[in-house]
């Protein structure tokens, strides 16, 4: 049954992804309810109704479900029991299989292996003896990752020796871990697929992703460093994995391309993804609009790119000398600012992003570079202010 505009979309999670889901939903005429940890969370600030609660609060999730016609999620750290409590009252899209699989790295790896998807050497460990066996298999250097709740590189330790690995396991409080060989990466890319209730899919990407300190720094479209064969492979696997999860909504597949040329699946996210933010300006429909369409049973939009684009994250580190110079950044042509409404700027915290478009990728990248430099340097905004409507800004 189609869930038509005017109905209420419930979102588990109140972060920036929930905020951008809410903005897209509003544009299509839906109401939005969110489960957020605070009334001023980024997603809560744009919602019609806020249920304040944690992502493992089953009673709060049930309240959200009762108020919604369909429930989706913006993070995979939702407790499956809470998601199930919401799903009693409204369809949960994506469903519990996708949530359970993506929130636990061990289950995710097992799923990928079962599907025959290409993955790097890895093992699941619970004890020091397991750990030493795992390292014999993966080799060194290796990366230890907690199975749940890691993000933006949190819950990960890179190790170069057995002794370091044992110490790192202790630091990670001896939780169940996935140990991976630390791969020699040529590049990282991602594909986001939207899959409808009827199983129809569209793919966005591949996007090329550069990380800094394990946090996404910049994403570009097109992925200029990826060859066409691997690009098709990445799209094919994303569609296949979404179907295998029987997922309705979005699936982002993060990939590694190793220096010896292998395309490997890194991880899955059954939700909008940071690497797809540039779809807001650069595609005929954004990842957020595609999500709304998918979960409501509406036709998916064409995934038609309109422009080359590059997205750069704005982390809290930028705020060390007060507010960045927004005026200067916006004086750069075809640069678009997104701020998430977070009050406290902490280092490493995603506060917003910039997307720059261009006639080609080189132009988009040059504009992003200029805009980012302007954030820390007031001279551009002074030039913009000195000329009517910013006409003195660099072209």
Ligand X SMILES: Nc1ncnc2c1ncn2[C@@H]1O[C@H](COP(=O)(O)OP(=O)(O)O)[C@@H](O)[C@H]1O
Q: Quote the least distance from Cβ 284 to ligand X, whole Å.
A: 28
Q: Is 29 a residue that touches ligand X (CB under 6 A)?
A: no
Q: What is the DSSP string of 127-191?
A: SHHHHHHHHHHH-SSEEEEESSS--TTTTEEEESSHHHHHHHHHHTTT--EEEEE---EEEEEEE
Q: Quote the least distance from Cβ 57 to ligand X, whole Å.
A: 23
* Residue 174 half-sphere exposure toward CB, CA atoms < 13 A: 3
Question: CB–CB of 73/10 below 8 Å?
Answer: no
Q: Which is nearer to Mg ion, 26 or 182 (CB)?
A: 182
Q: Is 211 a residue that touches ligand X (CB under 6 A)?
A: yes
- Between CA 298 and CA 212, with CA 231 as vertex, the angle to 5 degrees is 95
361: nearest Cα among 239, 242, 168, 225: 225
Rg (CA), the chain: 21
152, interface contact from Mg ion, ligand X, none, CB < 5-8 Å by kind = ligand X
Q: Near ligand X by CB under 6 A, which window of 20-28, 63-71, 149-157, 351-359?
A: 149-157
Q: Which of 80, 120, 316, 392 binds ligand X (CB under 6 A)?
A: 120
**Cis peptide upstream of residue 94 (ω within 30 degrees of 0):** yes
Binding residues for ligand X restricted to 372-391, rule: CB under 6 A? none
Q: Which is nearer to ligand X, 147 or 201 (CB)?
A: 147
Q: Is 57 a residue that touches ligand X (CB under 6 A)?
A: no
Q: Is 16 a residue that touches ligand X (CB under 6 A)?
A: no
CA–CA separation, 209 and 120 (whole Å): 19
Phi, psi of 263 (to 5 degrees): -95, 120
Q: Near ligand X by CB under 6 A, which window of 124-132, 181-189, 234-242, 294-302?
A: 181-189
Question: CB–CB of 101/111 below 8 Å?
Answer: yes
Q: Is 151 a residue that touches ligand X (CB under 6 A)?
A: yes
214, interface contact from ligand X, Mg ion, none, CB < 5-8 Å by kind = ligand X
Q: Near ligand X by CB under 6 A, which window of 18-26, 55-63, 150-158, 273-281?
A: 150-158
Q: Is 292 a residue that touches ligand X (CB under 6 A)?
A: no
CA–CA separation, 297 and 192 (whole Å): 18
Q: Quote the least distance from Cβ 258 to ligand X, whole Å.
A: 9
Residues that bind ligand X (CB under 6 A): 120, 143, 150-153, 180, 182-183, 185, 188, 211, 214, 254, 266-267
């Amino acid at each position: 049954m189609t869930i038509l505009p005017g109905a209420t979309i419930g979102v588990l999670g109140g972060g920036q992804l929930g905020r951008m889901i809410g903005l897209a939903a509003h544009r299509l005429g839906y109401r939005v309810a969110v489960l957020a940890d605070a009334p001023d969370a980024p997603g809560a600030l744009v919602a019609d109704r806020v249920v304040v609660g944690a992502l493992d609060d089953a009673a709060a999730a049930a309240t959200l479900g009762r108020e919604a016609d369909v429930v989706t999620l913006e993070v995979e750290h939702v407790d499956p029991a809470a998601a199930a409590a919401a799903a009693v009252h409204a369809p949960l899209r994506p469903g519990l299989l996708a949530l359970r699989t993506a929130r636990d790295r061990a289950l995710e790896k097992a799923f990928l292996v079962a599907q025959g998807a290409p993955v790097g050497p890895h093992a699941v460990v619970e004890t020091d003896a397991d750990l030493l066996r795992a390292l014999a298999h993966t080799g060194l250097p290796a990366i230890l990752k907690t199975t749940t709740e890691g993000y933006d590189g949190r819950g990960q330790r890179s190790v170069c020796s057995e002794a370091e690995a044992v110490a790192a396991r202790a630091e990670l409080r001896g939780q169940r871990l996935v140990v991976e060989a630390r791969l020699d990466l040529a590049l990282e890319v991602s594909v986001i697929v939207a899959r409808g209730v009827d199983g129809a899919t569209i793919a966005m990407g591949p996007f090329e992703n550069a990380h800094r300190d394990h946090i996404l720094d910049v994403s570009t479209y097109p992925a200029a460093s990826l060859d066409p064969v691997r690009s098709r492979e990445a799209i094919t696997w994303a569609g296949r994995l979404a179907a295998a999860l029987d997922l309705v909504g979005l699936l982002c597949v993060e990939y590694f391309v190793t220096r010896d040329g292998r395309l490997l699946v890194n991880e899955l996210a059954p939700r909008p993804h940071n690497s797809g933010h540039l779809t807001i300006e650069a595609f005929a429909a954004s990842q957020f609009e595609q999500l709304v369409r998918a979960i409501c049973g509406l036709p998916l939009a064409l995934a038609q790119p309109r422009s080359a684009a590059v997205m750069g994250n704005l982390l809290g580190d930028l705020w060390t000398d007060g507010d960045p110079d927004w005026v200067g950044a916006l004086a750069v042509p075809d640069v678009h600012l997104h701020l998430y409404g977070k009050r406290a700027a902490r280092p490493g915290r995603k506060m917003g992003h910039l997307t720059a478009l261009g006639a080609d990728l080189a132009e988009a990248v040059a504009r992003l570079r200029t805009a980012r430099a302007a954030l820390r340097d007031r001279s551009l905004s002074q030039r913009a202010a000195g000329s009517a409507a910013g006409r003195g800004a660099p072209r």
